[in-house]
Amino acid sequence: MATIAGLLARMRQDLNDEATPYRWSDAHLQRHLERTIREYSLSAPREMKTMAPTTAGSREIAIGSLADLVRVEAVEWPVGQWPASYVRFSVWQTTLTLLTEAKGDGSPAAIYWLAVHPVDASTLPTRDEELICRGAAGYAALEWANYAIGRVTVAGEETADRYRRWGTTAIDEFWAGLDRLRRALKSRRLYAPAGTLPSQSRDAGP
């Protein structure tokens, strides 16, 4: 499991900032890291499942308790059938509405949803830690280079220009990685929509 301290150490390696006194404080680097975690979360959100009770005689389910919700992927109701019974639904603000003939009966519905990763980095996939660190280090490098304009000596200006070039490349690579993750997220489906032949669907378990 990733930790903020571990990711900050990797950022310092990328930035060649491992010797004290540091060029960047931990607080500055952590701010950039938290930014990249939020941006990463929109392309590769955290996968969640919540059991929410239905209300007898109503098709509406309150989802205000789904913290840091990105979007709802699927709703299973009733729960426990095989094959699973996924139903159509709509979401508006903090209310999910079942688009079904039957109204709720008090039994739970399983809501599959995507959430923003917490900024403590505890849920980040190991495979993407390097991508996130590179993006965060890129933002830090650009920030320092922009701040250094007109405030440093000629030698310092060369360093600032080097950081600017490196930061721009790192951020471009970060966003290219997010684009690949975003395309993969759009291509998957938890279940086959109504009217789609099984051979045309992508089956991926929750």
pLDDT digits (tens, 9 = 90+) for 28-85: 999 999 999 999 999 999 999 999 999 999 999 999 999 999 999 999 999 999 989 9
**Residue-by-residue DSSP string for the chain:** ---HHHHHHHHHHHTT--SSSPSS-HHHHHHHHHHHHHHHHHHSPEEEEEEEE--TT--EEE-TTSTTEEEEEEEE-STT-SS--EE-EEEETTEEEE-SSSPP-S-EEEEEEEEPPPTT-TT--GGGHHHHHHHHHHHHHHHHHHHHTTTS-HHHHHHHHHHHHHHHHHHHHHHHHHHHHHHHHHH--SSPPTT--GGGS-----
Structure tokens at 71: 């979007």
Whether residue 152 is predicted with pLDDT greater than 60 in this model: the reply is no
In the chain, pLDDT over 90 holds for what percent of residues?
A: 75
**In sequence order, which residues have a C-beta less than 8 Å from that of residue 91 and are 6 or more positions away?**
63, 71, 72, 97
Structure tokens at 178: 């997010």
Whether residue 201 is predicted with pLDDT greater than 60 in this model: the reply is no
Whether residue 199 is predicted with pLDDT greater than 90 in this model: the reply is no
pLDDT at residue number 191: 59
* 76-117 pLDDT per residue, tens: 999 999 989 999 999 999 999 999 999 999 999 999 999 999
pLDDT at residue number 153: 53
Q: pLDDT: is 14 or 149 the higher one?
A: 14
Whether residue 155 is predicted with pLDDT greater than 50 in this model: the reply is no
